[in-house]
Amino acid sequence: MARVNHDDPYLWLEDVDGERALAWVAERNAETEAELAAGPGFDAFAERLREVLDAVDRIPYTTRRGPYLYNFWQDAEHVRGLWRRTTLEQYRKDAPEWEVLLDVDALAEAEGEKWVWAGARVRRPAHDRALVSLSRDGGDAVVVREFDLADRAFAEDGFTLPEAKTSIGWIDDDTVFVGTDHGPGSLTDAGYPRTVRRWRRGTPLAEAVTLFEGEPTDVSAWAWHDATPGFERDFVGRSLDFFRSETHLLTPDDRLVRIEVPEDAEVYAHRGHLVVTLKSPWLGHPAGSLLAFGFDAFLAGDRTAEALFTPDERTALAGHSWTRHHLILETMRDVSTRIEVLTPREEGGWSRAPLADVPPLSAVGVTDTDPDVSDEYFLDVSGFLQPSTLTRGDIGGDTEVLRQAPARFDASGLAVEQAFATSDDGTRVPYFVIGPDRSADEAPAPGPTLLYGYGGFEVSLTPSYAALTGRGWLETGGTYVIANIRGGGEYGPDWHQAALGARRHKAFEDFAAVARDLVARGITTPARLGAAGGSNGGLLMGAMLTRHPELFGAIVCQVPLLDMVRFHKLLAGASWIAEYGDPDDEADLPHLRELSPYHRLTAGAPYPPVLLTTSTRDDRVHPGHARKAAARLRELGHPVLFHENTGGGHAGATDNAQAARNKALMYTFLRKHLARD
């Protein structure tokens, strides 16, 4: 077992905007640019990747709000983007006419701010006003401004809020639910709203009525108004941690009626239904089930449930969406998705029918529905080598292909396969291999391979068309592998919970098992195998570096968590205690010290070259994680490059040029170190 080092001489690098810290960042950035970006062909490579992101013929995915389809669009001309809308009639055309609502580039220039689009909440049912969120340089904190959709301008009498990690939503024309920074005591330890207030137009925010208050140790408090005609209801609640919450019906006289479901269940109301997704067994139904109750009957004490989905050891719930009269159910079987339609019968029970055929090793997802009005749905199907197809349909009616994305890279000679590795404890771990076709009698020789993973927060890695990976890696002869390790949601809640807290090492063991399997099958060699991951996947990369350096020739660690002893004290870190454990709890601290890559770094270890990336404006995962690890690796004499964008938030980029350059740095680093044995 590696020695765990508890000293931390680099706390000064946690000072995000400190003069000394930023000077250090500038020096490291210059080193990385000189090493990776100064060579011939780098700029052309980055530009070729940017072409994918800026392509004018990519699919403009939309969200229906009343008669309009809304879209946010970025390209070479509109770097920060356009919020725009059109009609279905226009959208069916090859070149629709778009009505531009907000030009974020023009707004940023006029106000001298690096505004980044952070979404909008359009008021139902009139669809005449919106609450627009804007981020400074890509952080999670936003400013909020009310927007008049008819005038295409910010409303002079509108709701406005200063920068904070705000939650806000419409109640009626002149009232909103708001959770924001009201001063000392109004935020949780994780930095999110602790109170929910009702704020009326024309009144000071300070006079907003407090309706609900969480605890400082909660992640956040929240509220939601259901504007469905005939089923108007208000709900408030709090997220006790990342996975547990409580929900209350807020009555017209502001009384709270607790919705009595398990704390780890997800629950919401839809028309006459109460819909519950289970994370643990309840009422005789296994974890991972999707249940429907009669809403009024449930409040009256009736616990008779209709099981809309029941998992098995190979099948898990992937998602679901409502239309006016139906529920569209998405499931995964060994990480390939399926889709069907469920319809409640008047006499009781639900009927089922397939909605669409999905090719093997592909993914299907509902991109939008309009549950207030119609049974319209928009469906996207894609695969690793299959560009997206966007279909529109009406359940029980006709379907039409609206858009077919063109191929962005040369896939000739490439194939996709799914394989399974055996982890240390005997668990069967699926992974996808995208690369040279190995079905011929003479298989390709072992080659440069990039293994990607995440393994946390019940996030599933499903097949999708990755154009940047295609151009940046597959076209150059590389193989790309996605590992569906424990900690994710590929097999439901149990798959996630198997790697929680002190069991996090199970995710690391799974990833290492896939790496070994790739070598055993002759796909690659340790010297030609690279690994990449970001955020929680960055923790995974830190674990591979410090636990299994012999398995990899290079590692890319993006916006990572690496200091697992202090993560809860940095920005939003306290919100992840339920995933990892609490360093302030004596019962959890030992395993967190053992998990912490930053504290496992030692001199003399055979670490492969590392590229660490982060963003100064990441207000979710603190840039100090990557900074301190890079500094410690340098001190110990290990090969490490570090790159920190000044903007970009947790995504690491605010525009397509920045995103393309980040990818170009990564692929250049990997080619440099994996192109040789």
Q: What is the pLDDT of residues 398-448, one digit of tens each?
A: 999 999 999 999 999 999 999 999 999 999 999 999 999 988 777 889 999
* Arithmetic mean of pLDDT, 54-68: 96
Distance CA 529, CA 527 (A): 6
Mention every residue, 6+ apart, whose C-beta is less than 8 A from residue 49. Answer: 468, 471, 472, 660, 663, 664
pLDDT at 6 over 60: no
| pLDDT band at residue 223 using 50, 70 and 90 as cut-offs | very high
User: How confident is the model at residue 1, as a pLDDT?
Assistant: 39
* Arithmetic mean of pLDDT, 150-176: 97
Distance CA 311, CA 297 (A): 26
650 annotated active-site: yes
* Arithmetic mean of pLDDT, 63-79: 96
Candidate list 423, 535, 596, 615, residue with the active-site label: 535
596 annotated active-site: no
Note the Cα 438 to chain centre separation in Å.
Answer: 32
* Arithmetic mean of pLDDT, 250-266: 97
User: How confident is the model at residue 182, as a pLDDT?
Assistant: 96
User: How confident is the model at residue 439, as a pLDDT?
Assistant: 82
User: How confident is the model at residue 3, as a pLDDT?
Assistant: 47
User: How confident is the model at residue 655, as a pLDDT?
Assistant: 87
User: How confident is the model at residue 648, as a pLDDT?
Assistant: 82
Distance CA 515, CA 506 (A): 14
pLDDT at 620 over 80: yes
User: How confident is the model at residue 2, as a pLDDT?
Assistant: 43
User: How confident is the model at residue 676, as a pLDDT?
Assistant: 61
Joined together, the tokens standing for residue 245 give 């919450």
Q: Which H, E and C letters describe 164-189, residue by residue? A: ECCEEEEEECCEEEEECCCCCCCECC
* Arithmetic mean of pLDDT, 445-454: 97
CB contact at 8 A, 58 and 405: yes
Mean pLDDT score across all residues of the chain: 95
* Arithmetic mean of pLDDT, 457-480: 96
pLDDT at 135 over 90: yes
**Summary count for the chain: helices (H), strands (E):** 14, 37
| pLDDT band at residue 640 using 50, 70 and 90 as cut-offs | very high
Joined together, the tokens standing for residue 561 give 């968590």
pLDDT at 588 over 90: yes
Q: What percent of the chain has pLDDT over 90?
A: 93
User: How confident is the model at residue 523, as a pLDDT?
Assistant: 97
* Arithmetic mean of pLDDT, 61-86: 97
pLDDT at 677 over 90: no
* Arithmetic mean of pLDDT, 466-490: 96
Number of other CB atoms surrounding residue 158 within 10 Å: 17
CB contact at 8 A, 633 and 601: yes
CB contact at 8 A, 474 and 414: yes
pLDDT at 370 over 60: yes
* Arithmetic mean of pLDDT, 581-594: 96
**Which CATH number is 11-50+408-674's, of 3.40.50.1820, 3.40.1390.20, 3.40.50.970, 3.40.50.300?**
3.40.50.1820
